[in-house]
Amino acid sequence: MDVSFENVKHFITLADFTPKQVLWLIKRSMEIKSELKKGNKLPQYFSGKTLGMFFTKRSTRTRVSSESGWACYGGHPMFLGKDDIQVGGGEPWKDTSIVVSSMVDCILARLGGHEEIEVLSKYSSVPVINALTAKFHPLQILADVVTMYEHFMPNYQSISSGDLPLPMFKNFKVAWVGDANNIINSMLVTLPRIGIDLAVCTPPQYQILDDVAKFANENSKATNPDYGAVSYTHDPKVAIKDADVIVTDTWISMGQESEKERRIKEFAGYQVTEKLAKEGGAKPNWKFMHCLPRKQHEVDDEVFYNPERSIVFPEAENRKYTVMAVFEMLMVNAKN
């Protein structure tokens, strides 16, 4: 199915993309995965092309998936840590963007404040991909959704999808039990628009950003019957009721290490366990997801290492195929 990406230049947040475009990215990710698993070689779209990778934060999955994914198309990924370039010495992102984008073909950036990626994309002459900011982590949510299709709708090809690339989810619930961070922000602007009910549970001290909550509420079942419902609570058991998937993330993000002791106290009762899921009334076949790396206070070993319950490692692997779909979308589809 043809889905237009005309006038799309950057990949900053999934809020910028229609449900049809999001589902195209999900479907294309699964197609890429299938081709690679069969041992097929992909078109060498990026032969002679360079991906500039700005990373001011540590990374395992994002760096490995992006470098190996770009290389699959014959391109050259160039890793640029904060101490490798003059940003670490005070050069502004505006200047860096103008200069580096004149020498590379695409930029992927894992930064701090969201305003940094906005400046980078504003002054770049080439496509910019958000590989994480404090506000959004759109690449992670694409991988999460691919994993949900694989485990909960493996027969998606035999289900009617109308004019959409994939069938929407129906009667499917994701429960978030954790911090009000970039992962839940990205879920809020994405999951309800593809039919997923999303229950958000954070401690009272941690509130979802107003603009994110506004977007989610305006793009939920409250305004469109095909969309998923959005709800908020501070009680994990309330959020978990009838959940198909329970998701959490780190309680202490990079740069918040000094807040560790206080945060662990404030997140008391939020550790995901079989006991919590049973008491909350999650569906019997519920699955656990986490973007990694994980700490034991967030989820215990019984859940995390149980392959019948936890799908965190397939979720992590899918990071590669989803960033590859974004590469294709920006560098091939949007330019045709």
Domain with residue 269: its CATH number is: 3.40.50.1370
Is 202 domain-assigned? yes
Is 261 domain-assigned? yes
∠ CA 41-45-47, nearest 5°, is 95
For the chain, the maximum distance between any two Cα atoms, rounded to a whole number of angstroms, is 56
Cβ(66)–Cβ(323) under 8 Å? Answer: yes
User: For the chain, how big is the Rg over CA atoms in Å?
Assistant: 19
Residues ≥6 apart with Cβ < 8 Å to 300:
271, 272, 273
The reply to whether 145 and 131 lie within a common domain is: no
Question: Distances in Å between the alpha carbon of 34 and those of 31, 138, 147, 185?
Answer: 5, 22, 14, 29
Which pLDDT value is given to residue 258? Answer: 80
Question: Two tokens at 304?
Answer: 């995390």
Instruction: State the residue for tokens 């997801």.
Output: 289
Name the region of 269 (left: φ>0; alpha: ψ -120 to 50; beta: rest).
Answer: left
The reply to whether 27 and 153 lie within a common domain is: no
Which secondary-structure segment (H or E) carries 199?
A: strand 197-201
Catalytic residue, from 72, 106, 201, 291: name it. 291
CA distance 125 to 102: 7
213 DSSP assignment: H
Domain range enclosing 266: 141-315
Instruction: State the residue for tokens 């990626």.
Output: 117
Which pLDDT value is given to residue 103? Answer: 98
Q: Closest Cα partner for 43 from 335, 244, 324, 330?
A: 324
The reply to whether 48 and 130 lie within a common domain is: yes
Is 4 domain-assigned? no
The reply to whether 118 and 208 lie within a common domain is: no
Is 2 domain-assigned? no
SS3 content of the chain, % helix, strand, coil (to 5): 45, 15, 45
The reply to whether 117 and 259 lie within a common domain is: no
The reply to whether 201 and 309 lie within a common domain is: yes
Is 1 domain-assigned? no
Which pLDDT value is given to residue 261? Answer: 84
Phi, psi (degrees; rounded to nearest 5) at 263: -65, -40
Peptide bond into 19 cis (omega under 30): no
Is 5 domain-assigned? no
The reply to whether 145 and 132 lie within a common domain is: no
Which pLDDT value is given to residue 64? Answer: 98
Cβ(290)–Cβ(35) under 8 Å? Answer: no
Known catalytic residue at 72: no
Cβ(212)–Cβ(189) under 8 Å? Answer: yes
Domain tally for the chain?
2
Q: Closest Cα partner for 97 from 74, 73, 69, 116?
A: 116
Question: Two tokens at 183?
Answer: 């992962």
The reply to whether 69 and 124 lie within a common domain is: yes
The reply to whether 98 and 161 lie within a common domain is: no
Sheet-wide strand order for 173-177: 230-233, 197-201, 173-177, 245-248, 287-290
Residues ≥6 apart with Cβ < 8 Å to 80:
52, 53, 54, 55, 100
For the whole model, what pTM was predicted?
0.96
Q: What is the DSSP string of 237-248?
A: HHHHTT-SEEEE
Q: What is the pLDDT along the chain (336 residues), one digit of tens a residue?
A: 689 999 999 999 999 999 999 999 999 999 999 999 999 999 999 999 999 999 998 899 999 999 999 999 999 999 999 888 887 668 899 999 999 999 999 999 999 999 999 999 999 999 999 999 999 999 999 999 999 999 999 999 999 999 999 999 999 999 999 999 999 999 999 999 999 999 999 999 999 999 999 999 999 999 999 999 999 999 999 999 999 999 999 887 767 778 888 889 999 999 999 999 999 999 999 999 999 999 999 999 999 999 999 999 999 999 999 999 999 999 999 987
